[in-house]
């Protein structure tokens, strides 16, 4: 049996005009700002007008630690949204926007897969509605204004060696990681070493995704620390007077984007912060808007539950006052086998014992999510080679943990394949049994917050931090930033900081390599391992094969 | 008497939905790709479908050499378009898009002024439909792929010292003019000195504005010379295999943008290449599309007629097979006075003699335009302090030259103020008396082409080019580029290369400082004087005052 590719399925999509999709959520077409016929932004005015509505139920889709076998988190988010609509619920999904740069390195990503996708796929992988370009502009305006301030006399006394605000481009360009600027003489300013990150790594991205509204956005932008004086006093974006113009540049980008699933159900696709040095969730504004318009909102968080769900709960929900009603943990039989020690090449053969051996990774995530007081359901994202015995092994394991695992076939069948999951998820959500609370209080010290996550989520024995790091955290606490949550940046492939340790290890240490203050976004980034904020292109970039075909369709992007 | 500011007038505009504007040109709403409710792109499919239509008449608006008094070229373009509509003609205008970066330095520009403006003004000064962002992405993808090629083994043998393709940002950022990239060790590539230009200076911008269609666009992108080998053999974008992906990135940007004038008449706003190192006109695709849809198309060219109209004729019209039916040269009484030696501070007082003394600048432009075989009308863009005697002096001068000057009051009165001009322009266009031909043939040598423009347009005695420049031009001729037109880059303030020499000087020399080959755009840039391709911000950037007010309106951008 042969299957169609994601792009073939997406091209066959019978898209409805975006006004019809908006109408499913009662958004009047006047309040949809169209971008072509299949994309729109929901106007800020309309968002303001629905603030009195009751909130729908929030459902988080997260996953086991990712493996090369794939787990299908976005696919399941889309499938569950379609499944809820299929059983008669008014449901919407909220996912992140894709970054343009990486599409020219490795292939671009579909939003979902098989018969559980969001369209228009090409636009979502290219310029979409321009949000990331607006972030790039806003970020680089601040950069230009910092160097301009120094150029014209440096009234604020910025120490050129301590400018911490870099520049960004939505491009994989290793040559820009580490550069010296302002060469060429007096007219070009004071030479200094700096660099570019990719746009999704910008603090402006994190801010846009955590802001409540435009005035909160401007306040947060103003709070960004861009440099320090020789006396190590912080200089903020507000000191540079860039916050107003940056807000103007981000005015349109702040409004959430509406598109549709293959089954013509509403999908909000808005924001896309890094899941390591930032919190990795779509925007608060999109999630909140969806909750005001739909009875059930399905959203996802980046990476596995140890990073994505943890940050969703401890950062996004804490700060935005959100509370998930139920969490869906996505697992696949193939990923369980890899966690059980099987190599990728051998995944095709039935191996029930390997499935069983890998299940503790899933079990750990289930336990972790329950620590936040939220009910858990496991979605087994079915792959065509999975055997009944293997699927049953996962179900049995989850049942032993007191939870429930439901087989889903949305990749192959669309919403028909998620009816059972949707029904169960809606039942749980409707019971209002969730008793959500973040894992730690605001009042713990920054290091205690790291230890809390490391011990209770990663199951590490200890956190290793040298004196320099401890001093830095202490300094920030003294400066009034002690109440911020921590944003952990570690490998997504393991509970440990070693990407090769699959399963459910214990007894390890979590060494802190570096800490960074994102004062505007409102968290302290704790870096445990190598974090790349400007990717490079591979030997043969995908871009070499990207082109328009005779029919004007885009080839090579997927 | 007090007058409203441009922004006040623009905010009071009674905009019609963009579908209604498209309907005036019979564009079905399915073929308008909306960006919000007041902007749209015209679909490539629709453009293809109207290629059998007869062409309308093309009217070029150009001007005297700009002075600090202002001349109002765009304002007159808008006013004439509205005037033609007012007298019952089916007319559209075609103007350039604004660059984002400079808006944060000095104040952003309205498109037109007074009651002759194009709206929505804010969006046109900010992200608009994302065209410039797409150009930035496409340009920088090529940059990243060049360094990536070198990083992975440099199979093409690029000489790192001879990479001529820089990077671009739509930002005034002097710190990026001259930089060293790829520092930080082996993983970041080979350090080399390079820099950023502003996006409008990108050859990609010039290419987008000269391309006939997407396949021509890709061919031109492929032709870009990005570097040379040690043996000085050129390496093209096609060698780097970036042309396909760049075309994909520019697919939407290639479709012209439709907006409206204050009087709800159709305005195409598309592309915005530099008027010095590029040709300074809106896109060929927009102009051609407008000609297929309207009976009269009013367009403009950058700077004064010595640069803008010359390039419009010798580059854009030559290459796109366009022929203007009539040229309108815009002059103001105030600018005539400045050309006549009056300082800006003294412009308020009547000074008929100064007007007469300044008129030869206008006269020179009239003569120049006639050399292309096209009838000329002078539009006197009325300023409220102009006296009748001053206006009459200009009219008399132009009449003595065998042409006609018509007073226009569109700034104050909208289309009512251009009825006379519109009537006369339509009469001339309808007579089909134009006998357009470029000033020089393709077969002249590159230096002969420069000499032709310098002597016949600038009225210089000689062109000064040292042996290095002569050799370079000869090399390009030998390599097959001898048939290209030349793109002159000199000050816009004078016929000479000295910005302070107003009026109609003769007997000067034109020294060539540098020549550059834009093989993709299809011209040889001849630089005569200082050309800045990356502006800086002023001591107090406009950005400091740009913000959203309580009503959510943008303040400080204008």
- HEC assignment per residue over A82-129: HHHHHCCCCEEEEECCCCCHHHHCCCCCCEEECCEEEECHHHHHCCCC
Q: Quick check: A362 pLDDT over 60?
A: yes
| Helix, strand, coil percent content, chain A, rounded in steps of 5 | 40, 20, 40
In a domain, A137, yes or no: yes
Record: contact A183-B188, CB cut-off 8 A: no
Range A364-385 average pLDDT: 96
Q: Are residues A212 and A82 in the same domain?
A: no
DSSP, res A306? T
Q: Are residues A11 and A101 in the same domain?
A: yes
DSSP, res B344? G
In a domain, A541, yes or no: no
Phi and psi for A148 in degrees, rounded to 5?
-65, -40
Mean pLDDT of chain A, nearest integer: 96
pLDDT at position B558? 77
Residue A88 CB contacts under 8 Å (≥ 6 apart), including other chains:
none
Omega before residue A120 within 30° of 0, cis: yes
Report how far Cα A95 is from the mean position of its chain's Cα atoms. Answer: 8
Q: What angle do CA A133, A137, A142 make, to 5 degrees?
A: 150
pLDDT at position A283? 98
Do the Cβ atoms of A82 and A296 come closer than 8 Å?
no
Range B241-263 average pLDDT: 98
Q: Which residues on neighbouring strands pair with residue A163, listed in sequence order?
A: A227
Do the Cβ atoms of B148 and B58 come closer than 8 Å?
no
Q: What percent of chain B is predicted at pLDDT more than 90?
A: 92
Alpha carbons A320 and A318: distance in angstroms, whole number: 6
Q: Are residues A266 and A243 in the same domain?
A: no
From the list A165, A411, A523, A558, the catalytic residue is A411
B10-50 confidence digits (pLDDT tens): 999 999 999 999 999 999 999 999 999 999 999 999 999 99
Q: Quick check: A3 pLDDT over 90?
A: no
- Tally of structural domains, chain B: 3
pLDDT at position B434? 94
List the one residue out of B15, B269, B129 whose CA is nearest residue A39.
Answer: B129
A52-75 confidence digits (pLDDT tens): 999 999 999 999 998 887 789 999
pLDDT at position A557? 85
Q: Are residues A217 and A137 in the same domain?
A: yes
Record: contact A174-B140, CB cut-off 8 A: no
Q: Are residues B259 and B339 in the same domain?
A: yes
Tell me whether residue A303 is one of the annotated catalytic residues.
yes
Domain boundary among A431, A464, A484: A431
pLDDT at position B530? 85
In A, which residues are within 8 Å of B171 by CB distance? 137, 140-141, 144
Q: Quick check: B76 pLDDT over 70?
A: yes
Q: Which residue is closest to B29 within chain A, CA to CA? A: A37
Record: contact B544-A218, CB cut-off 8 A: no
Residue B243 maps to which CATH number? Answer: 3.30.1510.10
Record: contact A557-B248, CB cut-off 8 A: yes
B404-455 confidence digits (pLDDT tens): 999 999 999 999 999 999 999 999 999 999 999 999 999 999 999 999 999 9
Q: Which two tokens stand for residue B412?
A: 């104050």
Do the Cβ atoms of A137 and B127 come closer than 8 Å?
yes
Alpha carbons A338 and A532: distance in angstroms, whole number: 25
A386-442 confidence digits (pLDDT tens): 999 999 999 999 999 999 999 999 999 999 999 999 999 999 999 999 999 999 999
- C-alpha distances in angstroms, B16 versus A37, A196, A380, B263? 19, 42, 52, 9
- From the number of C-beta atoms within 10 Å of its C-beta (0-12, 13-18, 19+), residue B477 rates as middle
Q: Are residues A231 and A321 in the same domain?
A: no
Q: Quick check: B110 pLDDT over 80?
A: no
Of A539-548, B3-12, B364-373, the one with minimum mean pLDDT is: B3-12
Phi and psi for A399 in degrees, rounded to 5?
-60, -40
More confident residue, B28 or B556: B28
More confident residue, B482 or B70: B482
Q: Are residues A158 and A88 in the same domain?
A: no
Domain boundary among B431, B455, B472: B431
pLDDT at position B189? 97
List the one residue out of B545, B532, B546 whose CA is nearest residue B176.
Answer: B532
In B, which residues are within 8 Å of A545 by CB distance? 244
Phi and psi for A33 in degrees, rounded to 5?
-95, 100
In a domain, A306, yes or no: yes
- C-alpha distances in angstroms, B143 versus A144, A407, A544, B85, B195? 21, 47, 13, 45, 11
Q: Quick check: A122 pLDDT over 80?
A: yes
In a domain, B83, yes or no: yes
- C-alpha distances in angstroms, B500 versus A19, B171, B496, B530? 57, 28, 9, 14
pLDDT at position A7? 87
In a domain, B439, yes or no: no
Q: Quick check: A189 pLDDT over 60?
A: yes
In a domain, B536, yes or no: no
Mutate to test the interface with B, among A189, A240, A543 (most CBs of B within 10 A): A543
pLDDT at position B1? 52
Q: Are residues B56 and B101 in the same domain?
A: yes
Q: What percent of chain A is predicted at pLDDT more than 90?
A: 92
For helices B203-210 and B131-151, the axis angle rounded to 10 degrees is 130
Q: Quick check: B281 pLDDT over 80?
A: yes
Q: Which two tokens stand for residue A298?
A: 């399905």
Q: Quick check: B221 pLDDT over 90?
A: yes
A46 CB-side CA count, 13 A: 20
pLDDT at position A302? 86
Q: Which domain holds residue B337?
A: 6-129+253-431
Record: contact B183-A179, CB cut-off 8 A: yes
Range B150-179 average pLDDT: 98
List the one residue out of A170, A158, A146, A249 whose CA is nearest residue B175.
Answer: A146
A74-120 confidence digits (pLDDT tens): 999 999 999 999 999 999 999 999 999 899 998 767 689 999 999 99
Range A317-328 average pLDDT: 97
From the list A96, A311, A318, A319, the catalytic residue is A96
Q: Are residues A119 and A142 in the same domain?
A: no
Q: Are residues B60 and B86 in the same domain?
A: yes
In a domain, B407, yes or no: yes
Q: Are residues B392 and B520 in the same domain?
A: no
Alpha carbons A291 and A317: distance in angstroms, whole number: 13
Instruction: Give the closest of B151, B175, B543 to A147, CB-based.
Output: B175
Predicted ipTM > 0.85: yes
Residue A360 CB contacts under 8 Å (≥ 6 apart), including other chains:
A339, A503, A504
Tell me whether residue A294 is one of the annotated catalytic residues.
no
Mean pLDDT of chain B, nearest integer: 96
pLDDT at position B67? 87
Tell me whether residue A319 is one of the annotated catalytic residues.
no
* Long-range residue pairs from A453-458, CB within 8 A, at least 24 positions apart, any chain: A453/A310, A453/A314, A453/A486, A453/A488, A454/A510, A456/A368, A456/A371, A457/A306, A457/A310, A457/A368, A457/A371, A457/A495, A458/A306, A458/A495, A458/A496, A458/A508, A458/A510
In A, which residues are within 8 Å of B548 by CB distance? 214, 218, 244, 247-248, 251
Domain boundary among A248, A269, A298: A248
pTM, to two decimals:
0.97
CA distance A85 to chain B (A): 28
Binning pLDDT at 50, 70 and 90, where does residue A1 land?
Answer: low
Record: contact B543-A241, CB cut-off 8 A: yes
Record: contact A137-B556, CB cut-off 8 A: no
Residue B22 maps to which CATH number? Answer: 3.40.50.300
A448-493 confidence digits (pLDDT tens): 999 999 999 999 999 999 999 999 999 999 999 999 999 999 999 9
Q: Which residue is closest to B105 within chain A, CA to CA? A: A145
In A, which residues are within 8 Å of B245 by CB distance? 104, 543-544, 546-547, 556
Q: Are residues B182 and B222 in the same domain?
A: yes
In A, which residues are within 8 Å of B539 by CB distance? 152-153
In a domain, A534, yes or no: no
């Amino acid at each position: 049996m042969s299957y169609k590719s994601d792009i073939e399925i997406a091209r066959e999509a019978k898209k409805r005009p975006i006004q019809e999709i908006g109408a499913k959520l009662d958004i009047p077409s006047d309040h949809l700002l169209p971008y072509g016929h299949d994309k729109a932004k929901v106007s800020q005015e309309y968002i303001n007008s629905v603030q009195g509505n009751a909130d729908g139920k929030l459902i988080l889709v997260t996953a086991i630690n990712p493996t090369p076998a794939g787990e299908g988190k976005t696919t399941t988010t889309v499938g569950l949204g379609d499944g809820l609509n299929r059983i008669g619920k008014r449901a919407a999904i909220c996912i992140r926007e894709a970054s343009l740069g990486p599409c020219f390195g490795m292939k671009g990503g579909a939003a979902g897969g098989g018969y559980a996708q969001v369209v228009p796929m090409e636009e979502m992988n290219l310029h979409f509605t321009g949000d990331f370009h607006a972030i790039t502009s806003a970020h680089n305006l601040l950069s230009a204004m910092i160097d301009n301030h120094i150029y014209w006399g440096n009234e604020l006394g910025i120490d050129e060696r301590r400018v911490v605000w870099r520049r960004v481009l939505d491009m994989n360009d290793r040559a820009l990681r580490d550069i010296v600027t302002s060469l060429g003489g007096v007219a070009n300013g004071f030479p200094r070493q700096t660099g570019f990150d990719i746009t999704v790594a910008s603090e402006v991205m994190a801010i846009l995704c955590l802001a409540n509204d435009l005035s909160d956005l401007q306040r947060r932008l103003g709070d960004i620390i861009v440099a320090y004086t020789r006396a190590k006093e912080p200089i903020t974006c507000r000191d540079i007077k860039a916050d107003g113009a940056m807000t103007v540049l981000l005015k349109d980008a702040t409004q959430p984007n509406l598109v549709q699933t293959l089954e013509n159900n509403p999908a909000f696709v808005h924001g896309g912060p890094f899941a390591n040095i930032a919190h990795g969730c779509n925007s608060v504004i999109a999630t909140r808007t969806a909750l005001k318009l739909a009875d059930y909102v399905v959203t996802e968080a980046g990476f596995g539950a140890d990073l994505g769900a943890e940050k969703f709960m401890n950062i996004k929900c804490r700060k935005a006052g959100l509370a998930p009603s139920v969490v869906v943990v996505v697992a696949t039989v193939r990923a369980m086998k890899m966690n059980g020690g099987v190599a990728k090449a051998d995944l095709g053969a039935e191996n029930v014992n390997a499935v069983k051996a890998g299940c503790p990774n899933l079990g750990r995530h289930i336990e972790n999510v329950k620590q936040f007081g939220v009910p858990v359901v496991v979605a087994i994202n079915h792959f065509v080679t999975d055997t009944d015995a293997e699927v049953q092994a996962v179900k049995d394991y989850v049942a032993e943990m007191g939870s429930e695992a439901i087989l889903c076939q949305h990749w192959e069948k669309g919403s028909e394949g998620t009816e059972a999951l949707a029904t169960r998820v809606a039942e749980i959500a409707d019971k209002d049994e969730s008793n959500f609370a973040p894992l730690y209080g605001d009042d713990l010290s920054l290091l205690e917050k790291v230890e809390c996550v490391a011990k209770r989520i990663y199951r590490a024995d200890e956190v290793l931090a040298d004196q320099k790091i401890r001093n830095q955290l202490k300094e920030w606490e003294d400066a009034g930033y002690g109440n911020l949550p921590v944003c952990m940046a570690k490998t997504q492939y393991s509970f440990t900081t070693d990407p090769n340790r699959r399963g459910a290890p214990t007894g390890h240490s979590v060494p802190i390599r570096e800490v960074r203050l994102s004062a505007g976004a409102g968290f302290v980034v704790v870096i445990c391992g190598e974090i790349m904020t400007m990717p490079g292109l591979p030997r043969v970039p995908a871009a070499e094969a990207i082109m328009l075909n005779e029919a004007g369709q885009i080839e090579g992007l997927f």
